[in-house]
Amino acid sequence: MTTVFSIANGLGVAAPQGDLMASTAGAFREEFVAWFAMAGVRNVVLDLSLVAFLDSTGLGALIALLKRVSEHGGDLSLAGLQKKARMALEITRTTRIFEIYETVEEAARKVK
Would strands 99-101 and 76-79 be described as parallel, antiparallel, or unpaired? parallel
Q: HSE-up of 52 (CA within 13 Å, CB side)?
A: 2
Question: How many domains are there within the chain?
Answer: 1
Q: How sure is the predictor about 9, in pLDDT bands with cuts at 50, 70 and 90?
A: confident
Beta bridge partners of 76: 44
- Alpha helix (H) residue ranges in the chain: 22-39, 56-71, 83-91, 104-110
Q: What is the pLDDT of residues 10-30, one digit of tens each?
A: 999 999 999 999 999 999 999
pTM score > 0.85 for this model?
yes
CATH number at residue 53: 3.30.750.24
* Residue 78, Cβ density class (10 Å: 0-12 exposed, 13-18 middle, ≥19 buried): buried
1 in Cβ contact with 27 (< 8 Å) = yes
Range of the domain at 9: 2-110
Instruction: Flag whether pLDDT at 112 surpasses 80.
Output: no
Alpha-carbon distance of 34 to 38, in angstroms, equals 7
For 57-92, what is each residue's pLDDT tens digit? 999 999 999 999 999 999 999 999 999 999 999 999
CA gap 53, 75 in Å, rounded: 23
